Structure 1
């Protein structure tokens, strides 16, 4: 039975998941091809590259918004753990990222497109429109109308529903009326649908995950200064084990929490498994004491 284990020792975010799955052997070119079925190519460009975090070689995955190419590199869920949240409905996809370099052991290897280590897929069709405020209903229609397999559609919709219900509960409105930045942001759509694509591409039968460290401290969102975990994250993580940590900042984002909550069949310690592949997906922030990566282990159980 092919099992995938999310080892979330430094938290989890959407882009960290995609990076880890690619690092574990998923085909990023297949991801690009499948994502084109959303017919959103004019809104983003995808970049993935190898970086070294505290001595660990890992994959950094970014979604660069076409309308904002010079302003920020994705992020949405970049796993940057000192975010400024600018969402109208507690979204983790419009962060201002603070890049710190706490030690000398973090290196990014940027390579030109003619090698296998850094890849950019740019989708420019000069439409120059932005859909940063898609509603939950818009996204359901977007996914259902795309030419995905039923498995990919159902998995993506399951993750989005986790976020939508959490946002609806927090803001006191039914799921059908939820309209917000997070679910509507291009990068969160790519992270979530991309996760669904790669999970099925890897033909995983069972998904397990560790307890989720959420971090500590405060974050700024549209509604003011809020404690970590953010309201949406905490709502999503009901009945899911949360791990205490003294690290200040947001370790688990709403999108990362929703992916784990929707996909994991069990939250447990490291399972007994015959390991076949290992992947590391990195966030943006650097920590002095440990690599800021999500580890994915795939094998037979």
Structure 2
């Protein structure tokens, strides 16, 4: 199992992460043994099975004696740096607290060294963060992918007073991370949970994988509109190399009243604006009208721009958009020398294996026009030169 997918449909917090890792098989006694390497005491960890809206999971609660907890970021970082924790777990925990500290420093306008943690400085938060770092490595340190985080509306009471949701520190922590409207007036994503997700994971949709184990970390509150759970899926990734798979946006529209003279220009405009591919398919549409389906494949971040172009530059009144996984061959660009001149080729790989060589049309057309040779002959000439250089050499 080399992949952990975090499904944050009900948000994420430190205790939910720790409960999830235990539910997935991280040994709580081993986590506690590592936590005893920290110079903190006066707490105990209670782990039990609990239900949320009919689904059971692990509820891990840190019960503390202390009431005051005004530790600084510098205090916690020094404590972790000087601890006997294994280096990977120690450094992961330090990065999580540093991310929180930098966010607090930005919000309150103070240097990082002067940041005082209140809720995050409490013993339970220290145990949650360090326990989560240890638990992840107990599971073999899988690659972690996280769904977009659901942010809330309303207010939350803190040591500084009432803050709007999402909490200002949470928003700062999540700079550069994808979020969605959580449609909730309760705090679904805590600063600690946000920092753990940001340091543990990359963000994206569910990857191609084989599901092997599913676990649930239980949150403390009972929510009326959803089970308060963090779901995790331990899985084996497909054996397709990561560099040769990605996500693309697919745009589609059906046209039954387009001037055919516009369509060639439309295709060139779409490709010029960043589409990876575009094409037309013949259709038989309502009232027996002949029509065309426009299909555009594009990077997801260019979907909105290309949709607008399609609406403005054609007779389309709507565009359907969906994201899709894409498996692709590895590719490299190269140039080969021939008796007619140089030409560009595309080398297509499956891993390290060179599968085929594709001459670039524009260069072959240029050589054909310059030499008076037929285009198919130029293609064969370029292919032979490339094979001699890359397959036989």
TM-score range, shorter-chain basis?
A: 0.7 to 0.9
Deviation digits for residues 44-84 of structure 1, max 9, x if unmatched?
1110100111111111110101246xxxxxxxxxxxxxxxx
2:225 corresponds to 1:289: yes
Note if contact 1:45-1:66 (Cα within 8 Å) is conserved in structure 2.
Answer: no
Structure with higher helix content: 2
Instruction: Tell me which of the two structures has the higher relative contact order, counting C-alpha pairs closer than 8 angstroms and 6 or more residues apart.
Output: 1
CA RMSD of aligned residues (A): 1.4
Structure 1: which 5+ runs fail to align?
Answer: 69-129
Q: Distance in 2 between matches of 1:287 and 1:221?
A: 20
Q: Distance in 2 between matches of 1:194 and 1:169?
A: 27
Structure 2: which 5+ runs fail to align?
Answer: 238-393
Note if contact 2:15-2:61 (Cα within 8 Å) is conserved in structure 1.
Answer: yes
Name the stretch that deviates more: 283-292 or 30-39.
283-292
> What is aligned with 1:277?
213
| 1:274–1:254 Cα change, 3 Å | same
2:89 corresponds to 1:152: yes
Alignment of 1:187-198 (within 5 A): 187-198=124-135
SS at match of 2:119: helix
Shift of the alpha carbon at 1:146? 1.4
Structure with higher strand content: 2
Determine which of 180, 187, 193 is the counterpart of 1:250: 187
Determine which of 144, 157, 166 is the counterpart of 1:220: 157
> What is aligned with 2:72?
135
SS at match of 1:15: helix
Deviation digits for residues 138-165 of structure 1, max 9, x if unmatched?
1111111211111011100010011000
> What is aligned with 1:299?
235
2:59 corresponds to 1:64: no
Deviation digits for residues 236-294 of structure 1, max 9, x if unmatched?
11111111122211100000000011111x21112211122111011122223321100
Note if contact 2:118-2:159 (Cα within 8 Å) is conserved in structure 1.
Answer: no
SS at match of 1:239: coil
Query: What number of residue pairs does the alignment pair up?
Result: 237
Q: Distance in 2 between matches of 1:185 and 1:243?
A: 29
Q: Distance in 2 between matches of 1:18 and 1:137?
A: 24
Q: Distance in 2 between matches of 1:216 and 1:270?
A: 26
